[in-house]
Structure 1
Amino acid sequence: MNTTPPLAPAATRRPDLPWWPTPALFTALAVLGGAWGYHSSPILHGSVWLVLPYAVPLALVAAAWWPPSRPGARARGLALGVVGALAALTYAHLATFTLYTVALVLWAFQGGG
């Protein structure tokens, strides 16, 4: 006959931490990182369509708000939050680099002068 080990008493088990502080932190980091990245970029006075790709990092952070239903879901939310916050922070500088590169290549192919 198989016997199952007794459950650990409640005092020795690790208490379940709430899941929501992590996505809340990443939401704040994504908003602050996006604002800082956009204001520190030379495309500050660019057109409004340059702000639209910030929807992707914010969507990644929003996906981190799904409550964990499986053991790996907490790690998934953490990864999505990190990627979303970093993408929001670096998007404006990446867009600036891309626009400058395209302008330089177009200038080089049109004759350089």
Structure 2
Amino acid sequence: MTATSPPRPPAARLLTPPWWLAPALLTIAAALGGAWGYRSSPIVHGSAWLALPYVVPAALVAASWWPPSHTGAKTRGMVLGGVGVFVALVYARLATVVLYTLAFVLWAFQGGG
């Protein structure tokens, strides 16, 4: 004979939010943050391969979509999703700074003329 946990009452099931609500909001925030960050930076006129690193924030946000199997999984998913939103927001600015720094260093070492 196996012991089963008693079912939760219907009122308790209604008070718990659906697990997919936070990942859905993080996905929307990452898409909007990435679009805003990319459109507001000068690399928008660059080649398409500059948008390739947006795969990293998308993967971080996708990790938040896995249903939580234990207590720590939900927190870990939300942290990964939040980091993905932040990376999507700042990637274009960071790429711009890196590309400008690289151009300046190459210009400085080639003789400055």
Normalising by structure 1, we get a TM-score of 0.86
Deviation at 1:12, TM superposition (A): 9.6
- In the alignment, residue 51 of structure 1 is paired with which amino acid? A
- 1:35 and 1:100 map into 2 onto residues whose CA distance is 21
Identical counterparts, % of pairs: 64
Deviation at 1:17, TM superposition (A): 2.3
For 1:99, the equivalent position in structure 2 comes to 99
For 1:18, the equivalent position in structure 2 comes to 18
Displaced runs of 4 or more, over 6 A: 11-14
For 2:86, the equivalent position in structure 1 comes to 86
- 1:53 and 1:23 map into 2 onto residues whose CA distance is 21
For 2:3, the equivalent position in structure 1 comes to none
- 2:22 and 2:104 map into 1 onto residues whose CA distance is 41
Deviation at 1:44, TM superposition (A): 0.9
- 1:64 and 1:94 map into 2 onto residues whose CA distance is 24
Deviation at 1:13, TM superposition (A): 6.4
Normalising by structure 2, we get a TM-score of 0.86
- 1:28 and 1:17 map into 2 onto residues whose CA distance is 18
- In the alignment, residue 30 of structure 2 is paired with which amino acid? A
- 2:25 and 2:90 map into 1 onto residues whose CA distance is 18
- 1:77 and 1:19 map into 2 onto residues whose CA distance is 11
- 1:38 and 1:49 map into 2 onto residues whose CA distance is 13
In the TM superposition, what are the counterparts of 1:25-104 in structure 2 within 5 Å? 25-104=25-104
For 1:3, the equivalent position in structure 2 comes to none
Count of residue pairs brought into register by the alignment: 106
Unaligned runs of 5+ in 2: 1-5
- 1:40 and 1:91 map into 2 onto residues whose CA distance is 11
- In the alignment, residue 79 of structure 1 is paired with which amino acid? V
Q: CA RMSD in A?
A: 2.0
Higher helix fraction: Structure 1 or Structure 2?
2
Deviation at 1:111, TM superposition (A): 1.3
- Structure with the greater alpha carbon radius of gyration: 1
